[in-house]
Amino acid sequence: MATLGVSEADREAIARFDANVIKPSMTSLVILQFTAEWCGPCKQLSPILDKVAADYASKGVTLVRIDVDQEKMIAAQFRIQSIPTVYTFYQGQPVADLTSYRSEGQIKRVLDQLLQQLKVESEESAAQAEVEPLIAMGEQVLAEGDAERAVSIFSQIHEMAPEHPEVIGGLARALIAAGDVDRARTLLDGVSAELGSQPAVTRARAALDLSSATAAADTSALDARLAANPDDHDARFELASAKAGAGDRDGAADALLEIVARDREWNEGAARKRLLQLIEAQGIEDPWARMQRRRLSALLFT
């Protein structure tokens, strides 16, 4: 914006514009609304922009208003002929004209497209980058069997990112491993429907469902029943639950797959459903989980 031959007042206006619009736009997407006190359509649009800006603040969007009567030089530089006029700025340049959009839905659709195209830095992305290594550390500690320390790590991360699905899922699984099933259930029951559908949370839910299985001190009676009748699926299912409760996932999977091989529809597919719970609780990308899924598929589709 040219500054030669301008008054001190205009220089101050340019400095304000630079401070309020240009500099913030280096890292944020700035919605710039030209308005005036006497403008009726502006008063109708302003609350909508306020709400959109609030909803998108964590995504890196800010809202700035310029009163054309108070900042006449800035309005003239932009050749404002009617108001409201609304632009978006990014990295010092106007990137879109939102003037023709007057509904919340229309404006949000345009912002979503711009945010995706421009890769605007946001609080959400910054927070994600901050917690990812901490999540990895918590998962490693949990995999090593130190459930109490994993609970401590995930609890601290949960304070930083309480709505992060991987943090919620990791904390719930750590609590389950530490024997604090009630706290894990309370945590998972408190998540929203949207968060509850995230893979990390459904994995923790599967682990919670499996936590009801307890290790049997002596499975010899179940072994004897199966020796007498290999088709005693109730006994084999109990044996699988006992092995799962004891942490013998291979033994539990073998028992469940044997039921599927003998009678895949037994008890409305209970063995298949329990095996899928085991797989989900382990994490579907885990090598062991992938192997068990292949074994199950081989039985079901050959």
In angstroms and rounded to an integer, the radius of gyration of the C-alpha atoms of the chain is: 30
Place of tokens 């108070």: 70
What token pair was written down for 237? 């299912």
Per the CB < 8 A criterion, the answer to whether 70 and 98 are in contact is: no
Catalytic residue among 39, 120, 176, 213: 39
Six-digit token string for 62:
């800010």
276: amino acid identity, one letter: L
Residue type, 9: A
Max CA pair span of the chain: 103
Whole-angstrom distance between the N-terminal and C-terminal Cα of the chain? 72
Residue written as token pair 């050749």: 79
Q: Which of 38, 43, 19, 33 lies closest to 78, judged by CA?
A: 33
Question: Could you write out the DSSP letters of every residue in 91-109?
Answer: TTEEEEE-TT--SHHHHHH
Active site residue 39: yes
**CA 128 to CA 75: how far, in whole Å?**
39
Pairing assessment for the beta strands 85-90 and 61-67 based on DSSP bridges: unpaired
Active-site pick, 30, 31, 42, 151: 42
CA distance 124 to 53: 15
Assigned token pair, 163: 């709505």
| Active centre residues (catalytic) | 39, 42
